[in-house]
Structure formats: structure tokens, C-alpha cells
């Protein structure tokens, strides 16, 4: 069974500082990986995805993530955080099984940005 | 429609009452997912539809929960005899359902229905 671990439930960073949110997945084959962001009272918005190819993927809002197969990780990074980045971030792993795409989410990391 | 639409956005009900939550997916999306988001629990998979059939309903927590989809479009999640532990945000997502060139596709989420059971 596939699973996702986000070890940090809460992270606080200063505005302008760099950010790295950790994500580790468990899946036997090459996974499909996603990062979503959820602002308060909103649904989930896709930040970026990895399906194949270049292991460093760029997303919206200046975010990037790197797929490291050897570490089973897909960490999200941003070089300089803005106050508007305060939200909850979810890592997810997808796979096809029995003809349908199963997507499993992590527990989420809540990001607080301080001035 | 342009996005995934869910209604109601907020629902407060008394313990023991039945509730229905509705999801209107993106037009043309054949795959539809329901997830539950409880405080500190992340997103818990409930059920998946491909067209009108539900090949995976393994995440439904009890027989009080059921879902249907009609016309390959709108889906309704029904919770009977609600309990306080059912309080959560129920999220619906849809996708094209077809395996893309890289073998996967993106889920697009609605804003969710917040259910509070008193």
C-alpha cells in the first residue's frame, strides 16, 4: 500500500527566509507525486507535480520540488517566503491500480509566516 | 462547469439526522473522488467513481455512509444518523479519468462542505 509521511505538522518561518517542507512516500514502483496548497476555507490547489523526466520540477508561486528516488522523498522548496504563503501544504502520491488512479495524501504541514 | 462545485458550503445538523452533500465536477471529467478532512487527520479517502460506478468504496467508514453518481456527473454523499465524529470538511475532486501520456492526471478539488454535528 502506498503512503505519505509529512514529518512536520507545523513550521514557522520569517518572511523572506527560505523554506523546505519535507515529504517521504512509500510505493513500490515509480510514483506520481503532487504538492497541493490549501488556504483557510478553500479547497486544495495544485502547486506542482512529478510524473516523469527531470527530477526538479517547477510549480506556481515560485515553488519547486525535487524527486529523490534513493531517499523516497519529494521535498518542497521556496527561496524566499511571502506572507501570503501561509497555508497548509499537502504532499500526495498517486498510482494506477485496477484501472483507476489512487491518490493518497499526507497529513499536511501548516506554514506560519512571521514578519 | 469551470470548476468543481460543492454544496452546501456549511451544514450544521443535530446528531441522528441524515445529511446530503453534493458535488458537481468539471464538465467532461469522468473520475470523481470524495475525501474527508478532519482536524489533524489530513485527507482521508472515502470513495472513487469512474462514470456512474464506484470501483473503490473502501474508504467509507461505516454503512451509514453512501454515495451515488448519476449521469456521469453530479455526485451525492449521504450520511445517515449522523454522529459527532462525522464532523469534518468533505472534499470532492474530479479528474479526466484517462491515463495521460505520463500515466497520471491531476485532481481538481472543490472548496469543500463543512459539516458540524451537534
In the predicted structure, residue A13 carries a pLDDT above the cut 70: yes
Helix or strand holding residue B57 (H, E): none
The strand pairing partners of A91, in sequence order, are: A35
The predicted model gives A20-26 an average pLDDT of 96
CA distance B111 to chain A (A): 4
Residues of A in contact with B105 (CB under 8 A): 101
A89, closest residue in chain B (CA to CA): B42
Q: Pairing mode, if any, of strands A73-78 and A19-21?
A: antiparallel
Strand order in the sheet with B65-69: B5-7, B19-24, B75-79, B65-69
Q: Rounded to whole angstroms, how far apart are CA atoms B46 and B56?
A: 9
CA distance B7 to chain A (A): 13
Q: Which of B55, B103, B110 has its CB closest to that of A96?
A: B103
Residue pLDDT, tens place only, A75-101: 999 999 999 999 999 999 988 877 778
Candidates B42, B44, B112: best to mutate against A (most CBs of A within 10 A) is B42
- Residue-wise burial string across A64-87, b where 16 or more C-beta atoms lie within 10 A, e elsewhere: bbbbeeeeebbbbebeebeeebbb
Q: Rounded to whole angstroms, how far apart are CA atoms B20 and A58?
A: 39
Instruction: Answer whether B110 sits within 8 Å of A101, measured CB to CB.
Output: no
Beta strands in chain A (DSSP E): 3-5, 10-14, 19-21, 24-26, 32-38, 44-50, 56-58, 64-68, 73-78, 87-97, 100-105, 109-114
Residue pLDDT, tens place only, A50-84: 988 889 999 999 999 999 999 999 999 999 999 99
Residues of B in contact with A99 (CB under 8 A): 50, 55
Given the C-alpha cell 453530479, which residue does it identify? Answer: B74
In the predicted structure, residue B32 carries a pLDDT above the cut 60: yes
Contact A101, A49 (CB under 8 A): no
Residue pLDDT, tens place only, A32-48: 999 999 998 788 999 99
Those of residues 47-106 in B touching chain A at CB distance below 8 A are 48, 50, 55-56, 91, 93, 95, 97, 99-100, 102-106
B96, closest residue in chain A (CA to CA): A101
In the predicted structure, residue B8 carries a pLDDT above the cut 90: yes
CA dihedral defined by B103, B106, B107, B110, rounded to 10 degrees? -170
Q: State CA A83 to chain mean position distance.
A: 18
Candidates B103, B111, B114: best to mutate against A (most CBs of A within 10 A) is B103
The predicted model gives B7-31 an average pLDDT of 96
Q: What angle do CA B43, B99, A4 make, to 5 degrees?
A: 30
**How many interchain CB pairs under 8 A, A with B?**
69
Q: Rounded to whole angstroms, how far apart are CA atoms A98 and A66?
A: 28
Residue B85's Cβ-count burial label (10 Å; 0-12, 13-18, 19+) is exposed
Mean pLDDT lowest among A13-22, B34-43, B92-101: B92-101
Any chain A CB within 8 A of the CB of B41?
A: yes
- Per the prediction, chain A carries an average pLDDT of 92
Residue pLDDT, tens place only, B61-102: 999 999 999 988 999 999 999 999 999 999 999 998 766 666
User: What's the confidence (pLDDT) of residue A104?
Assistant: 92
Q: For residue B75, which phi and psi values (nearest 5 degrees)?
A: -125, 145
The predicted model gives B7-21 an average pLDDT of 97
In the predicted structure, residue B11 carries a pLDDT above the cut 60: yes
The strand pairing partners of A79, in sequence order, are: none
Amino acid at each position: 500500500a502506498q503512503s505519505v509521511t509529512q514529518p512536520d505538522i507545523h513550521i514557522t518561518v520569517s518572511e523572506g527566509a527560505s523554506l523546505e517542507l519535507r515529504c517521504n512516500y512509500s510505493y513500490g514502483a515509480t510514483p506520481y507525486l503532487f504538492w497541493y496548497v490549501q488556504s483557510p476555507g478553500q479547497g486544495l490547489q495544485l502547486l506542482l507535480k512529478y510524473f516523469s523526466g527531470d527530477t526538479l520540477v517547477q510549480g506556481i508561486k515560485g515553488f519547486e520540488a525535487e524527486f529523490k528516488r534513493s531517499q523516497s522523498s519529494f521535498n518542497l522548496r521556496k527561496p524566499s517566503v511571502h506572507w501570503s504563503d501561509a497555508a497548509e501544504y499537502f504532499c500526495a502520491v498517486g498510482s494506477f491500480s485496477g484501472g483507476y488512479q489512487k491518490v493518497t495524501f499526507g497529513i499536511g504541514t501548516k506554514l506560519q509566516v512571521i514578519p | 462547469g469551470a470548476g468543481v462545485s460543492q454544496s452546501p458550503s456549511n451544514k450544521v445538523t443535530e446528531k441522528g439526522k441524515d445529511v446530503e452533500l453534493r458535488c458537481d465536477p468539471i464538465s467532461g471529467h469522468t473520475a470523481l473522488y470524495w475525501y474527508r478532512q478532519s482536524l489533524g487527520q489530513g485527507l482521508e479517502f472515502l470513495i472513487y467513481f469512474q462514470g456512474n460506478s464506484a470501483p473503490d468504496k473502501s474508504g467509507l467508514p461505516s454503512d451509514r455512509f453512501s454515495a451515488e453518481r448519476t449521469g456521469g456527473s453530479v455526485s451525492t454523499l449521504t450520511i445517515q444518523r449522523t454522529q459527532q465524529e462525522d464532523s469534518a470538511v468533505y472534499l470532492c475532486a474530479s479528474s479526466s479519468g484517462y491515463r495521460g501520456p505520463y500515466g497520471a492526471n491531476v485532481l481538481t478539488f472543490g472548496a469543500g462542505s463543512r459539516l458540524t454535528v451537534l
